[in-house]
Amino acid sequence: MDPLSRDELARLADEFGIGLPDTQAETVRAQVEEFLAPLDDLRTLPTVVDSRSGGDRSWHAPETNPYGAVAHWCDAPAADEGPLSGTAVGVKEIIAVAGVPMECGSAVMRGHVPGRDAAVVERLRTAGADIAATLACDEFAGSARGTTGADGPVRNPHDPARTAGGSSGGSAVAVVTGDVDAAIGSDTGGSVRIPAAFCGVVGLKPTHGLVPLSGVLENTYTQDHLGPIADSVRGCARLLDAVAGATPADPASAVAAARDGYRVGGYDEAAAEPPEAADLTLGVVEQGLGEAVRPDVVARTEAAVERLAAAGVGVERVSVDHYDRTRTIKNLLSLTELAAHWRAGGAPYRRGGVVDPAHVEAVTARTRAYGDRVGAYYRSKLLAGARLIERGGGWYARAQAAREAVRESFEDALAGVDALVTPTTPGVAPRLTDADDPGFDYAHTTRPADVTRQPAVTLPNGDVDGLPVGLQLQAGAFEEARLLGTAARVERALS
């Protein structure tokens, strides 16, 4: 590490709000140098980065890409025979596939190639899946619009003049077009469920920590989730069986495993043998049908509820306290955590576990050298977060406490019902020319499940003017098996 000058020390002290009297400056500078002197020895220590990646990999850019869904075609074949043998899976481009470019939808990350598979990639391959593609997303997975990726928008296959939604737009489109059999996306405010709903497929956001985040670019650590997208509930259930469960490599999954009520597995079985309609009760959330949701989507949702009631499903109307506060809570937490992670150069301070040092060093170097290449939308998020950090930790702490209050409100609403019901999005997929409209709150009904960190799934619910509409079901923490069984029954009733 380069020697530390007194000017640099003064700059660091000012940036971090640490007093540095002139009389102590030289003493402190020498002590800092002493603390940091052994760091170069760290490079000589062994790591376990490449111990499980293994195998030859090939990749190529798509020759044709009509919807902008594919980032790179790749060949990362299954490691073993298993329940997913013969299944071609795509993963969002913020998920590491060793030897394949991981550009995260950003010009900042052009040419970056990770050296280790993400935990979910390892698990998919162990379960027999072939990783066939990395899939396009909004820049750094930071938008629901589907329009902020460095290579342009991801277009909706039902109408290419409309967005596929984001940030996992490529994952949803690739399933619809048959480029892959199923996909893994990420969801911090709705980024699995929004594009799944816009494109007419099934998308699941599990409980926070159920699926490990090792090898995934961090966005908002306390609200980041990975989840499957497929053409059916069972398709999602099969993927979740393969990727769920704690690992020492990911502390968030270990924390989840220590929580009361933790349970994992049995998802495909639950979806294959769903409960009878008469044994289910759904709670229709009144705030999910309010003014923020367009009347045609409300009507489509109410029609689905009527069909379910006619099939024998019990239906109740429920209210959730603080529902409309989730936007403020989510944004404050997300912006603060995002800016802190960026300032740290991608260092996994909170995530810990087994990480790829070369990957973190690459993120650090690229964000420092090419930060001016970040798009305007993501840049605005970073600077909003920087402003919050500058004002201290009080707002962040208040948002953390408010998140718990909202979670308790949802748990109260879930008492006595199997799942809560809302439309997935407040409208159909916007035209690309209207995708930036601030009056369209993409995540109005998906955001709450990220704030509460409970599982939620979107199912196709017909169409409005020829464009898909989604129906969302939300359940309690670690109730994925119950949720998927309920969703499978709803899927049959609405088909």
CA distances for 317 relative to 113, 162, 406, 414, 423, angstroms: 50, 33, 18, 11, 14
Residues 352 and 466 in one domain: yes
The domain spanning residue 192 has which CATH number? 3.90.1300.10
pLDDT at 48: 47
Assigned domain for 51 exists: no
Residues 29 and 175 in one domain: no
Residues 90 and 32 in one domain: no
347: burial class by Cβ within 10 Å (0-12, 13-18, 19+)? Answer: middle
pLDDT at 42: 59
Residues 25 and 63 in one domain: no
Catalytic entry in 53, 143, 191, 253: 191
Q: Which domain holds residue 12?
A: 6-42
Q: Which amino acid is at 437?
A: D
Active site residue 381: no
Residues 359 and 241 in one domain: yes
Q: Cα–Cα distance between 240 and 271 in angstroms, integer?
A: 11
Assigned domain for 207 exists: yes
Catalytic entry in 106, 143, 167, 253: 167
pLDDT at 242: 98
- Residues in a beta bridge with 460: 470
Residues 23 and 74 in one domain: no
Active site residue 167: yes
Q: Cα–Cα distance between 340 and 393 in angstroms, integer?
A: 12
Q: What is the pLDDT along the chain (495 residues), one digit of tens a residue?
A: 678 898 988 888 887 677 888 888 898 888 888 877 776 665 565 554 443 455 578 999 999 999 999 999 999 999 999 999 999 999 999 999 999 999 999 999 999 999 899 999 999 999 999 999 999 999 999 999 999 999 999 999 999 999 999 999 999 999 999 999 999 999 999 999 999 999 999 999 999 999 999 999 999 999 999 999 999 999 999 999 999 999 988 889 999 999 999 999 999 999 999 999 999 999 999 999 999 999 999 999 999 999 999 999 999 999 999 999 999 999 999 999 999 998 888 887 776 666 778 888 888 888 888 888 889 999 999 999 998 988 888 999 999 999 999 999 999 999 999 999 999 999 999 999 999 998 999 999 999 999 999 999 999 999 999 999 999 999 999 999 999 999 999 999 999
Domain count along the chain = 2
Residues 145 and 201 in one domain: yes
Catalytic entry in 92, 205, 330, 381: 92
- In this structure, the strands spanning 456-464 and 419-423 are unpaired
Model pTM score = 0.92
Assigned domain for 48 exists: no
CB of 366 closer than 8 Å to CB of 360: no
Residues 383 and 427 in one domain: yes
DSSP state, 438? Answer: T
Active site residue 191: yes
Assigned domain for 395 exists: yes
